Chains A and B, each alone.
Chain A
Amino acid sequence: MITKRIIPCLDVKDGRVVKGVNFLGLADVSSPIKLAEYYSKSGADELVFYDITASSDGRALFTDILTEVARTIFIPLTVGGGINTIDDFDRVLKCGADKVSVNSGAIKNPELIREAAMKYGNQCVVISVDIKRVNGEFRVFAKGGREDTGMEAISWIKKCVSLGAGEVVVNSIDTDGVKKGFDVEMLRAVCDAVNVPVIASGGAGCVDDFIDLFKKIPTIDAGLAASVFHFGEIEIKDLKKELAKNDITVRL
């Protein structure tokens, strides 16, 4: 049986992990390499790195760090942030990334998905979508959730998958940061609409939220979170043990 994946997400700016990180026993907690090692040893099934750097200097630093992470960690790595062209795909894949996540870049130019899927395969192209309810409809937001694109989310995701996206990350803006659980209603709507892996993001606050997610939506593939892992509120090892106790198949 394929296992449900637990994925910590690291936001990296100018070579450092942003968002306060307070692990015990880790001296340099903002080092992406040390955090990646820590997560890999704790049983993370995959790592996602978002490059939120604005300058090109910072971007070069990010690729150096990615290379270093890929040299030390042997689990799948996904990279997102500032991916607008095939050259961007090329740049991060050469550093050892396995998948590339596109968001605003695909909204601006949906053909980017097709082009990338043709060149690197569907499995390499992840569409990440920030979704918020507006007037009772799931709406796609761009630019880190600041701009309403006016597009209906489910049809946008279907379009991305038909263009070649091999995986979907659903970030619910409505539940993000609230720590009251994943957006089950929204995630179920996406899972019902597509036949590629769907990764839930936004809202995880405790272990039960993950159990709830996988129980309520058997077709969901993975749960992604950042701060609850970074702050040590949830230890991935403990989380996976609890999931296993609840008959959810995980890699222990």
Chain B
Amino acid sequence: MIAIIDYGVGNLFSLRSSLDMIGAAAKVTSDPDEIKKCGKIILPGVGAFADAIAKLRESGLDKVIKEEVARGKAIFGICLGMQMLFEKSYEYGEHKGLGFLKGSVVPMEKYISNDLKIPHIGWNALHIKRDHPIFKYIKENDCVYFVHSYFATDCDDSLLATAEYGKELTAAVAYKNVAGMQFHPEKSGEVGLKILKAFCEWEVEK
């Protein structure tokens, strides 16, 4: 069973449906006991970093997630959910993240030329930097769907894939039992479903 963390941010309908589609057992939950019982965690998220991390803390779910990750449970962050896995974000100020991954989240506008539109929105090709079980069903140049204005940087330890948009933007990360995608696998057609399937099958090495 996979726990999709519900902390009052974003629309979980598509994520839930895409897991149904690949036959994965999942539940949308904010109940710590349920989360502890589940074998894996998906941390979704859209909107602003400060809001989202505040909601996670207010609900006490940040502690639950940290405990479970410390116990070796696999976690998969999506979009803002991925950004929250990092140490900090510079979205409207400076905010602490969950700190599972080294690196920080920064505004795209400071790093790419201003003739490129922000947010980076649409289908873009993945450039895979190294093999990982989560990518076992997909290949170099497969396209996935992005919607974001901030990106993770200084994350060499965990970098899995990038997408080119003025510069190489972090598209996917994984380190030990922690993984994250900047794009939306639940909106990336077949490729996205394959990534979710691979996450469901992923056995973290102890």
Contacts and interface: CB of A to CB of B under 8 A. Distances in A.
Contacts of A121: 46-47
B191 to A, nearest CB: 9
Interface residues of A, number: 29
A93 interface: yes
Interface of A, secondary structure class, is loop
A74 B186 contact: yes
Interface stretch (A1-9, A142-150, A223-231): A1-9
Contact of B193 (A3, A70, A74): A74
Interface stretch (A15-23, A53-61, A94-102, A128-136): A94-102
Centre residue among B146, B187, B188 by max chain A CB count within 10 A? B187
A167 to B, nearest CB: 7
Interface string A60-88: 00000001001110111000000000000
A202 interface: no
A211 B13 CA distance: 36
Contacts of A95: 13
Range class of the B interface residue count: 20 to 34
A221 B146 CA distance: 14
Interface in B113-146: 117-125, 143, 145-146
Contacts of A195: 117-118
A2 B120 contact: yes
Given A3-B143, A167-B121, A221-B122, A75 B13 contact: no
Interface in A158-196: 166-167, 195-196
Interface of A: 1-3, 5, 40, 45, 67, 70-72, 74-76, 93-96, 98, 121-123, 166-167, 195-197, 221-222, 251
29 contacts: A1-B124, A1-B125, A1-B165, A2-B120, A2-B146, A3-B122, A45-B122, A45-B123, A67-B13, A70-B14, A72-B17, A74-B21, A74-B188, A74-B189, A74-B190, A74-B192, A74-B193, A75-B145, A76-B187, A94-B13, A96-B17, A121-B46, A121-B47, A122-B119, A123-B121, A167-B121, A196-B117, A251-B123, A251-B143
